[in-house]
Amino acid sequence: MKRRTLVLGGAAIAASSVVAAAIWPRRHVVVAARTFDWKGTDFLSGGTKSVALEKLPAPLFRTRPNCVVTIAQTLGPCHVNDVPARQDISEGEAGLPLRLALRIVHAADCRPVENADIEIWHTDHRGIYSGREAARMCTLGDAEAISGLAFRGRQLTDKAGQASFLTAYPGWYSGRTPHVHCRILVDGKELLVSQVYSTMP
């Protein structure tokens, strides 16, 4: 399998009532800097603790994947090594609950890729990354963020090429739309580094 021959597909689920409540306050707040301190009410702050995993619907994917090769993007200065394998990557942090489901298939024939190692990482609701190894521009020197690995994790795909994570919607920071970084390895070889963007406002 050659580099950049994978297709990354995704689905994100959040309760519509939560989304509406989370978006409403932002229409009345001018966010001028990355260091803006969100109030809990702005994101309903329950985080993944407010989600009953067994009650979530199954991730919704196309019946047949759209087999277009995913564009590679840079790893960036906010990546760290040795992140834990886990489904809930929030470490109990506050934020708008989000379930991110990804599917990996071969671009040539859309066959699912089983046991692909998917690593994801993104900011907290303030736009700050965690991790001691991350560059200071990523953590902003925040002691709590530096000491943990919140919003970082990895999983192996199942027979359908799928894996899903429980997390919280990533925050905004200057110059970037909210996004989730991902790194795909198969048999220990890095095949793709890219980013996932949401169509949510």
First to last CA, the chain: 36
β-strand partners of 52: none
pLDDT exceeds 90 at position 117:
yes
Both structure tokens of 175: 């110059």
pLDDT band at 8 (very low <50, low <70, confident <90, very high): low
Taking the model in full, what pTM does it have? 0.77
Burial class (CB in 10 A: 0-12, 13-18, 19+), 90: buried
Could you tell me the fold of the domain covering 6-197? Protocatechuate 3,4-Dioxygenase, subunit A (2.60.130)
- Of all residues in the chain, what percent carry a pLDDT higher than 90? 52
DSSP 52: -
Contact predicate 186/115, CB 8 Å: yes
Q: State the average pLDDT over residues 76-105.
A: 93
β-strand 189-197 against 162-168: which pairing, if any? unpaired
